[in-house]
Amino acid sequence: MASFKITGDRRLKGEIVPQGAKNEALQIICAVLLTKEPVTIHNIPNIRDVNQLINLLGDLGVRRTRLSETSIRFEADDINLDYLESDSFRQKAAALRGSVMLLGPMLARFRKGRIPRPGGDKIGRRRLDTHFLGFEKLGAEFSYDEEDGGFYRVDAANLKGTYMLLDEASVTGTANVLMAAVMAEGTTTIYNAACEPYLQQLCKMLNRMGAKISGIASNMLIVEGVSELKGTEHTMLPDMIEIGSFIGLAAMTQSEITIKDCQIPELGIIPDVFKRLGIQMEFRGDDIFIPAQERYRIENYLDGSTLSVADAPWPGFTPDLLSIVLVTATQAQGTVLIHQKMFESRLFFVDKLIEMGAQIILCDPHRATVIGHNRETQLRGIRMTSPDIRAGVALLIAAMSAKGVSIIDNIEQIDRGYQNIDTRLNAIGAEIVRL
């Protein structure tokens, strides 16, 4: 298990380029299974979860040609379905939550699939009902056998388009069902669909491949099934979660940072939420400039009541940035209630922030009240463990703003979602040593 040793209380200055979007990558890369023709993908992030998925596709028989550091051409013309029965597949797919999105393309093209119960972050229950209920609506039949190593087996010999109302606006659930529906017979209507930019990107890519999807960017997708798809070329968006993390990092460390090539129109309300924390920023073309701020003040509502920041399906605020908002608020002037609605264990890292000196009241598994220090008391360095990707980066931000030295263990969780985060931050003035 690797660790970061962070020397805090350093101001950063310079430019940083966000990586390709992790959550988009997991969907887009699975979609290469839908066609025999080559699919070229650009701006692929070099992170553990994505690399594991690419390697898993290679084990399935997908040929991969690296064109540059961030571009790969995939060719899925000779897939070895027998590999799905192997212990190697079970072990590798179970370690990666994104592997569940292999099912939709496999059902569409091969009319069958097999997947173990996926792994991923330990942030509470992350049910797969939306995926399987959607597949069932399309005519698939599935079974789960605990004695068979915990495998889900799905038979989709007769995929037919239908109307479905998803039980939740799940991003991965929508993507998975959508990829199955593009080659189902007839028309499929997916209502209560997620409409995050990741999903919009997937829809646009599939349409370039020959799919017929309308309603993109809305919560109702209409899919006319086609018999086959062709190859395409696709460039992924910059990672909005990394962009939000850098905004919070700049404020906490009183740093002057320019975040390059952000594709600002795709960020939704993310910049506005950080502005409500009092963080100044300037849009310079497609770059976001964060000036060094001695202090930032949390806004109240118009009636004077305490600000609340909660996650919601897009175009609401993404749950992946609530940990960053929470840690950023610890040095603001004012109070904010953080309401994490989706996952009941995602706020449990706040005990480490409290140990560092933050003033946080954990109200229940979903809500925490942060009383900002207004820079009057500095956090202090401690030893801690990263429980998941986003909490790990929140703790890293806290450590970089703290007085003294901090150690963060289990940084493999951070590496799952952030590409070479230590070397990139060190290049603009941080002091992070990988142990």
User: Of the candidates 174, 180, 239, 224, which has an alpha carbon nearest to the alpha carbon of residue 200?
Assistant: 174
Strand order in the sheet with 141-145: 112-116, 151-155, 141-145
Cα 327 from Cα 344, distance rounded (Å): 18
| pLDDT value of residue 219 | 97
Query: Distances from the Cα of 334 to the Cαs of 54, 371, 431, in angstroms?
Result: 45, 6, 29
Q: Is 240 annotated as a binding residue?
A: no
Catalytic pick among 9, 59, 77, 121? 121
Strand order in the sheet with 3-7: 383-385, 405-409, 3-7, 432-434
Query: Distances from the Cα of 276 to the Cαs of 143, 280, 299, in angstroms?
Result: 48, 9, 5
Q: Is 420 annotated as a binding residue?
A: no
User: Of the candidates 176, 178, 141, which has an alpha carbon nearest to the alpha carbon of residue 158?
Assistant: 141
Domain definitions of the chain by residue range: 3-19+238-434, 22-235
Cα 393 from Cα 312, distance rounded (Å): 21
| pLDDT value of residue 121 | 40
Known catalytic residue: 286?
no
Per-residue tokens: 321: 């940035």
Q: Do domains 3-19+238-434 and 22-235 have the same CATH topology?
A: yes
Residue 229 main-chain phi, psi, to 5 deg: -120, 155
Please tell me the CATH superfamily of domain 3-19+238-434, with its number: Enolpyruvate transferase domain (3.65.10.10)
| pLDDT value of residue 123 | 34
Q: What is the chain's alpha carbon radius of gyration, rounded to the nearest angstrom?
A: 22
What CATH number labels 22-235? 3.65.10.10
Cα 402 from Cα 105, distance rounded (Å): 46
Q: Is 46 annotated as a binding residue?
A: no
Q: What is the helix (H) or strand (E) element at residue 204, kind and residue range?
A: helix 197-208
Q: Is 342 annotated as a binding residue?
A: yes
Peptide bond into 45 cis (omega under 30): no
Q: What is the mean pLDDT of each run of 10 residues along the chain (435 residues)?
A: 96 98 96 98 95 96 97 97 91 86 96 76 55 93 74 89 95 96 98 96 98 98 98 98 98 98 97 98 98 97 96 95 97 97 85 97 95 96 93 97 97 92 98 97
Q: What is the helix (H) or strand (E) element at residue 348, kind and residue range?
A: none
Q: Is 97 annotated as a binding residue?
A: yes
| pLDDT value of residue 148 | 65
| pLDDT value of residue 118 | 61
State CA 387 to chain mean position distance: 15
